[in-house]
Amino acid sequence: MTEMLISTEPATGETLWTGAIGDADAEVSAARAAWAGWASKPLTVRVETLRRFANVVRQQKDKFADLIARETGKPLWEAATEVDAVVNKVDISISAYSERTAQRKQEGALGARVAVRHKPHGVLAVLGPYNFPAHLPNGHIVPALIAGNAVVFKPSEKTPAVGEFLVKLFHDAGVPEGVVRCLIGGPDQGRTLASHPGIDGLLFTGSARAGMALHRQFADCPQKILALELGGNNPLVVWDAPDVHAAAVIAVQSAFLSAGQRCTAARRLIVKDGAHEAILGEVGKIAERLIVDAPHSTPAPFMGPVIDNPSADQLQEAFLDLMMKGGRPLKHLDRHENDKPFLSPAIIDVTDVQERADVELFGPILQVIRVPDFDAALAEAGATRFGLAASLVGGSPQLYDKFWANIRAGVVNWNKPTNGAPSNAPFGGVGLSGNHRPSAYYAADYCAYPVTSSEADNARASIGVGLRDVRIAANELEG
């Protein structure tokens, strides 16, 4: 009997999609069989194929956005921006490949040449997340294909319909079916794919816990590339902000976009003790006005539900745990329907909570921490094993310079939200947030490896030192 995977809409609980769980061996074998043919095609052919993919996605934008909204629960307007990001990734990746992996030649000794070119790794596995089920895996797949790799993509078990549809669009654009494969399944299929001897690397976006497990697993596989894009316990410091309302808007956007289900979302709001009431009051007012509703509702919601009921349960338990440890709720985490994962944006002052857990609460919970001075704010911002995003709102250029120099993160912003990183720049973190393999514009770096060649039109060689005189050698032979 075929085992099936079922996807439901978070906003309604209704079944959206049903599909058969796939076989990792079969998908990797298909990719391996197709890889050489794809890699041998001229770069111009691969680029043109990916440009057709962008056009196909444009033509299917409304259908694609509707599917993303239904399967993730995010507002339709936000799902539409995700489709735009899928389209834009193509041109960005083409430019990045040209810049990051360009062929270079220079003159060497004795008329020789030194050439640097890049080769694809082979078959790359891509494990995608549920929060951006099209944009984030697409950010791995497109540069991998441009470089000449074949891909086996396993979408999150929570968003398989979007993953399957994304792969179909690649095929519709003319990418050979064997070159991009879709493996439907849950954690077991993901583990099987990650450990498969037939892959040459793994590109992963997901939780820090899963990333650490993959890092340990790949320790015995130095021949395989591993690129990890993980989460964050991201700080947002508001300090002497002249425009309190603008600062509050940035805080709300940072914390609650996508129902807080962004790896770059602000988890900790750090403010000056004694001067905090104005900013917290304004953040609370704006958060109270945020519309939380189903993706297609009118008026359009700011945020939808979190991905599923188990996730909502865990967030409620985490909020209650913070309260029991001394946290003071400024805005409670409300759930109006117990059988659906709609959560209101929540704000809790955790200044007096001892030994705060350094974890990523992947949802609409903003923790407030009051500190006496800016040095304490820097220390609090850096008190994390993660290192993905951080932002300073307010302050002078000199203060921002100090902030930038002392924050260990891959994304450091000033008077901007922690989230919404541009795709035409590198994206990634340090610490538990990644393994120094930034994606976005720098994805080209891990999709191909450099090959250095010393080349000459004719063979010329001599040994000038360490040889016996030819006459002595001849006499010894005669003797």
Q: Catalytic residue numbers?
A: 229, 263
CA angle 297/302/308 to nearest 5° reads 75
Distance of CA 44 to the CA centre of its chain: 27
Q: What are phi and psi of 71, to 5 degrees?
A: -80, -30
* Helical axes 135-147 vs 43-59, angle rounded to 10°: 160
Q: How far apart are CA 80 and CA 66, in angstroms?
A: 8
Spatial CA neighbour of 365 closest among 395, 391, 330: 330
CB atoms within 10 A of CB 181: 23
Closest to 255 measured CA to CA, from 246, 267, 263: 267
> Which among 387, 381, 390 has a CA at the least distance from the CA of 433?
387
* Exposure letters 334-364 (e unless 16+ CB within 10 A, then b): ebeeeebbbbbbbbbbbbebeebeeebbbbb
Write out the DSSP string of 241-305: -S-HHHHHHHHHHHHHGGGG-STT-EEEEEEETTS-HHHHHHHHHHHHH--B--TT-SSPPSB--
- DSSP designation for 347: E
Sequence-distant (6+) residues with CB within 8 A of 89 are 135, 138, 139, 142, 423
Q: Which helix (H) or strand (E) element contains residue 46? A: helix 43-59
